[in-house]
Structure 1
Amino acid sequence: MKLDLDQAWQSGLRFTRNNAGLLTVIAGLLFFLPAAVFGLMFVPPEVPENATWDEMVTILGAFYGETWWIMLITLVLSTLGSLAIYRLAASRDDRTVSGALQDAVKGLLPMIGASLLVGIPVGLLFAIPLAIGGVGVFLILFVIPVAIWISMRTILSGPVLMAERTNNPVTILKRSFAITQGNSLRIFFFLLLLVIAAAIVMAIIGAVLGLVFIAVAGSETGEQLALIVSAVLESAFTVVVIACIAMIYRQLSGGQAGTTSVPPTVED
């Protein structure tokens, strides 16, 4: 089946609009709050303009070495948020925040397992250039395209997990590969356009509001307010993307899951 990008976009927006209350609670708890807390409490160090590559890696490496644990917590919470939204998009049964979060918690370990099965090989791919040299050319011509292809073929793992209620990471990945057959490039460019559009909008809004906040509240407070607004915008964008991915799954799966029973998906 050929993916209809306009249908995926329109369905994603409709689902987001019709479930705004539920999605706001989930996004506020699991996307916005962790991002805002991390941004306010852990400010990355400034890298000098004349710093070499090794110096930049050392400075940023020290920062992320100290904050890896909070980043891990943020990642886990965002994964729960994504799964909860996929759960809401997958079924009419118990369409509540608590029900969605309960199912998301149950699906967390299988999702982590599936992510590791994908992430470890991709990580090894990126390690190869460091071992053999020729980093730039090898990354551009082979590693990055392969990593993107694998990511697009497994991007529906979350919807598969929540809609088809299978807890086997291998089965989840195989199902995602089957559904995305012939559509990985279309999914990639669809998401790329979303990211570019969102980056432009957030940059403009962030710059304008940042200047206003700094002028009204001063430099330090203004920057903190701008960071909070940025976290709100990023959370909203994240919800829209997840909703679109859920609708891509709905469209490509066609309600058919082989031997697995799939609850009816909904948009409202």
Structure 2
Amino acid sequence: FYTDNIFWIILIGLANGFASVVMLVLILDRGQPSVGEAMRRGLSILLPYYAMGILSGVMVFFGSLAFVLPGIYIFIKLLVAGPAMVAERNYKITAALRRSWALTKGNSGRVLVFVLVVAVTAFFVYLTSVTVIGLVIRLGVGGDMAETLTTLVDAVLSMFLSVLMVCVYAALYRQLAGPAAEDVAETFS
């Protein structure tokens, strides 16, 4: 499957990465860029962001091969690397990974519990919604149309979950990084 569809897998990954970067720019950039500016910036940093995601995934994979817990630990430690890369405008892959590791230091357990609560809750809401809406669709519409509509509902709910998780990662970054020096200076000026 993967060898037959590698082109589409990479293309979908790049599109997903682009959307994530643009959302992170819109959420985290203190200059409040327009959507067009966020898209231009997202396009300019897409490749390092994507490469960082691949490297993080490989690290988590190898950590999981050792045992599941090291993989989970590495995942949590690298969770805010993307938001750090975008917010701090440092597009070096290793710098973003190190920054994420430093930000999560001493907070890994709390971050894990928070992400688990959000992910498990979102998963059950997603699963329940797809099941209930899918049943209603199948009762109202028959055949291939029911399958198509159910797949469409699944895709839309998956998209909402992706947006939710990008927002959660951005919020985690903001919480862990603390206020920017400019914000502190503005408060006391």
* Residues 59, 74 of structure 2: 8 Å contact kept: no
Give the structure 2 partner of residue 93 of structure 1: 31
1:40-119 → structure 2 map (5 Å cutoff): 63-119=1-57
Contact 1:159 1:249 in 2 (8 A): yes
Which amino acid in structure 2 is aligned with residue 147 of structure 1? G
Partner residue, 2:99: 175
Higher-Rg structure is 1
State how far apart, in whole Å, the 1-side matches of 2:128 and 2:146 are.
16
* Pair 1:148 & 2:72 matched: yes
Partner of 2:159: 235
Q: Deviation of residue 167 (structure 1)?
A: 1.3
Contact 1:160 1:176 survives alignment (8 Å)? yes
Higher relative contact order (CA 8 A, sep 6+): 1
Question: Would you say 1:250 and 2:188 are equivalent positions?
Answer: no
Three-state SS of the structure 2 residue aligned to 1:255 is coil
Percent identity, aligned pairs only, is: 29
Instruction: Spell out, residue by residue over 1:192-221, the C-alpha distance to the aligned partner (whole angstroms, 9 max, x if none).
Output: 222211221122221222122222221211
In the superposition, the TM-score normalised over structure 2's length comes to: 0.85
Count of matched residue positions in the alignment of Structure 1 and Structure 2: 183
On the 8 A contact 1:214/1:220 being kept in 2, the answer is no
Q: Distance in 2 between matches of 1:114 and 1:65?
A: 22
- Map Cα deviations across residues 5-25 of structure 1 (whole Å, 9 max, x no partner): xxxxxxxxxxxxxxxxxxxxx
CA distance in 2 between partners of 1:246 and 1:173 (Å): 15
Contact 1:107/1:161 (CA < 8 Å) preserved in 2?
Answer: no
Among 115, 134, 143, the residue aligned to 1:219:
143
- Secondary structure at the residue paired with 1:185? helix
Runs of 5+ in structure 2 lacking a partner? Answer: 184-189
